[in-house]
Structure 1
Amino acid sequence: MDQLVEEINRFIKSRKKCLIRISGHGAAGKTTFAEAIMKELKSNTYNYLNTDSYIIHGEYRKPLEATYKYNNEIHKGKVTACLPVAHELKSLKRDLKMLRSGMDFLTIDTNWAPAKTIHAERYVTIADGMSTAFLEESLFDLSIYIYTDGQTELERRVERDVHERGKSIQALMDTHKERRIQYELFMHDRRVDFDIIVNDSYGRFVVEKGWVN
């Protein structure tokens, strides 16, 4: 990881302005990687935008059901963040274009992250989250995609969502399989549009596409 972080920071410093997206499924290691990049930057030179606030709140998605075909079988499941329809993509795209045009904007206020100003004059912005996977590559100067195998994702979700956020482990287990199927169908293929692809499964940090082999 350290070598890739060094190369990304050299890329950042070579540009006057830089907009980076870090995307992938939930619990893939996106935020951990974003933090590693930001650790090497001065605090007043970058913006960090957690795009989870652009995911439509669960209470509005709860009545919705998605139908899709997987391995020649019809599946029905709740609409998760692995589907583009679960995101306020037009709002996110508008805000990123405002930033590109030199305009500050205020992030969406949530119970886990109070609203803050994203400053247009700062030379690097890191947009971290699943939402960015569903936007055009041309919006960004650098695109990084991180993913894991299904077991690693589940173990990390248990650690984060159950132990840290107090969610039910049974609810997590009940939805994991279908969420993973939706991820494979609707999100994983989008990695081809990214400059760097990383497999961050437990025991591995393999750059499958990009600057480090």
Structure 2
Amino acid sequence: LIVERNREVGAGILEEITVRNHSREPAVCVVELAMDADFADLFEVKDARIIRHWDQSRHPEGDSLTIQGVWRGIHKGVILQAPDATFSHEGLGYRTVVPPHGQWRTRVTVSPLVDAAETPAPFQRQASGTSPAEIRRQEWIRKIPATHVSNVSIARTLQRSHDDIGALQIEDPLHPDRTVVAAGAPWFMALFGRDSLLSSYMALTVDPSLALDTLQTLAERQGNV
């Protein structure tokens, strides 16, 4: 038997589990997944150290398990869903028979419950093809001034810098025509005043519009100019 796990992460998690039977006999399988949630914030994950310990409750019902946590009046939660699974307080399980030279497959989704909402936002799978972020990055690379230097090391550094700035660009949801610079990947793909200002300032010679869009967005969201 071979077990494959393919995980997609977006506004939630989608995990596809496949059990392949390469023998000539049917295989009776019990598949069990233990589930837990620590509700750690970004800095706790980054430091690999849990500081806040949440009062947790679990509610299995039908084909789902809801895990909720409370800490100093703050509520968080996730809901795990899997078709045809048997849920308990600890997780979920399947009992299945995988045919000879056949396979068995299932999907498990984990969706956040934002602001103690009772219904999670549905997981949106990435459509096949190039992502919008990659299309935006490629378009930006094409429009910036091209540099030609004889020193290979400097040329490589400039190209890497252009690629990095392109990858850090994010859109303002309220103004899709604005592009701002995130603080850094992977931990801080968000608008940070200091980092975003410094990055867009240093990129003025390449693309002044980044600085303008960043200033306008910060003025609306974090202060007055």
Shorter-normalised TM-score: what interval? under 0.3
The normalised TM-score by structure 2 is 0.21
The normalised TM-score by structure 1 is 0.22
Specify which structure has the bigger relative contact order, considering alpha-carbon pairs within 8 angstroms and separated by 6 or more residues: 1
**More strand, by proportion:** 2
**More helix, by proportion:** 1
Q: For the pair shown, which has the larger CA radius of gyration, 1 or 2?
A: 2
